[in-house]
Amino acid sequence: MVLKDDPSLMFTNAGMNQFKEFFLGNSKPKYHQIADTQKCLRVSGKHNDLEEVGKDTYHHTMFEMLGNWSIGDPTDSSVGYFKMEAIEWAWEFLTEELKIDKSSLYVTVFEGDQADGTAKDDEAYQIWKRIVDENQILLGDKKDNFWEMGDQGPCGPASEIHVDIRSPEEKLKVSGKDLVNKDHPQVVEIWNLVFIQYNRLANGKLQELPAKHIDTGMGFERLSMVMQGVQSNYDTDVFTPLLSEIETITGCAYGKTETIDIAMRVIADHVRAVTFAIADGQLPSSTGAGYVIRRILRRAIRYGFTFLNTKEAFIFKLVKVLVFQMGDAFPELQKQDTLCENVIQEEEHSFLRTLAQGLTLLDQMIDKNKGNELPGEKAFELYDTYGFPVDLTSLILEEKGLTLDEKAFQKALQVQKNRSKDAAASQTGDWKVLLTNEADQFIGYDTLKADVKLVKYRKI
């Protein structure tokens, strides 16, 4: 999941990342037909599902993407398989192996794009038409049904498979076809079949590839939901052991109150992302990929702190449950379990201290403040000096019937950003003014003044 050799990406966010060089034709695969499970993390860049996580029941930060692959060979057309096999096998796997009810599945086909001259994927349409009722086929646009690696290079149309797991009564009310790709929690995409058949040239034109490829991705947790006959990924055995441990530790019950449920889902989800990242070698830190992991963990801590009333470190205790569940399939978890626990516990301690300190200060600010609105500069002071998240400030103010002057907060933030840009050049030895360089490690504040803050850095 952690990528160390791809400057364009911090974490694997799709099953194809590791096969990129084969699709680009830069290297040859040992095997042309592959089936796998790939750990993915979608929290930044092109795929960022973070804000959905916990609020909905089917987007995770870290998830397993199951895939089957055919990597063509330009010198040998007998190698691999393409669209017909990929579609027929996907259908066979879902309906005959897994015995998913055929009438609950919907498939989508690329409708074409006049603006850039890309044709409708009629080939896929004709194949699907032989397999499923035409009523279950939908046309989709570029956003959902055309995949490109970048502005140039391998690309092609896709067919997504969606499943409708609503009750028969609900199905009578509205056709599942009308709910595909509409963020309905029980009509969800489970599998994406990408037919890599073109090469996008620098002038934007498409050229048929001499060797075509198949790239498919299916969400393991969503498939588990379908197979286990439940209505949410969190009701599958991927998540129930984690949720029951959270219930035991916090004394809160899952399934009764929306805010508590969201917090529990966030924590169950995020502990997986953070533990898998640490086991893969990415520790939380104050810069780059490490900071992404730290932020995910802090998000979980904050949800616990605010909604489950957890004032002591507890997320680290979930690592045991996760390792017990997933350790056989992912031995790296077993090997690193103590490290994962210790790192998470330490992060929790330190962020809980920040939260406690910030809360005391915020209370004092609220006491002193006249009127119903807290000045944005005050919230900025908490954020900037104590790392106290501004959304938590807003939340606490809201609970007390107060508001925050968000505009003033944003203004102060912008002033600081500009200042740190200006400060980029003003470096003296191992000391620097403000956070400027990702390769510097933050080791503490020196002095605090109203206008300039001296921050201590060690060169690394």
| Helix residue spans in 24-93 (DSSP H) | 83-92
Stretch that binds ligand ATP, among 1-9, 56-64, 197-205, 338-346 (CB under 6 A): 56-64
234, 236, 239, 241 alpha-carbon torsion, rounded to 10°:
130
Q: Which does 63 bind (CB under 5 to 8 A by kind): Mg ion, ligand ATP, none?
A: ligand ATP
According to the binding rule CB under 6 A, does residue 219 interact with ligand ATP?
yes
Q: Which of residues 211-270 bind Mg ion (CB under 5 A)?
A: none
Where do the DSSP E strands lie in 28-182?
33-41, 43-44, 47-48, 62-70, 105-110, 137-140, 146-148, 153-164
162, 3, 50, 377 alpha-carbon torsion, rounded to 10°:
-160
According to the binding rule CB under 5 A, does residue 192 interact with Mg ion?
yes
According to the binding rule CB under 6 A, does residue 217 interact with ligand ATP?
yes
* Residue number, 233 or 336, with CB nearest to ligand ATP: 233
According to the binding rule CB under 6 A, does residue 49 interact with ligand ATP?
yes
According to the binding rule CB under 6 A, does residue 213 interact with ligand ATP?
no
Tell me the C-alpha to C-alpha distance, in Å, between residue 263 and each of 62, 266, 310: 17, 5, 11
Please identify which residue in 41, 43, 65, 155 interacts with ligand ATP, judged by CB under 6 A.
Answer: 65
Strand 153-164 with 43-44, pairing: unpaired
Stretch that binds ligand ATP, among 24-32, 55-63, 292-300, 385-393 (CB under 6 A): 55-63
Please identify which residue in 23, 63, 198, 330 interacts with ligand ATP, judged by CB under 6 A.
Answer: 63
CB 223 → ligand ATP: shortest distance, Å?
7
Q: Which does 348 bind (CB under 5 to 8 A by kind): Mg ion, ligand ATP, none?
A: none
Q: Which does 219 bind (CB under 5 to 8 A by kind): Mg ion, ligand ATP, none?
A: ligand ATP
8 A C-beta contact, residue 452 and residue 445? no
According to the binding rule CB under 6 A, does residue 59 interact with ligand ATP?
yes
430 alpha carbon, distance to own chain's centre: 36
Tell me the C-alpha to C-alpha distance, in Å, between residue 231 and each of 155, 167, 190, 224: 34, 10, 14, 10
Sorted by sequence, the CB contacts under 8 Å of residue 358 that are 6+ apart come out as 382, 386, 387, 388, 392, 393
Number of residues that bind Mg ion (CB under 5 A): 3
Please identify which residue in 32, 42, 294, 299 interacts with ligand ATP, judged by CB under 6 A.
Answer: 42
What is the C-alpha to C-alpha distance for residues 104 and 55, in angstroms, rounded to an integer?
25
Enter the tokens of residue 386.
């104590």
Instruction: Give the residues lining the site for ligand ATP (CB under 6 A).
Output: 14, 42, 49, 59-60, 63, 65, 189-192, 217-219, 221-222
Instruction: Give the residues lining the site for Mg ion (CB under 5 A).
Output: 160, 189, 192
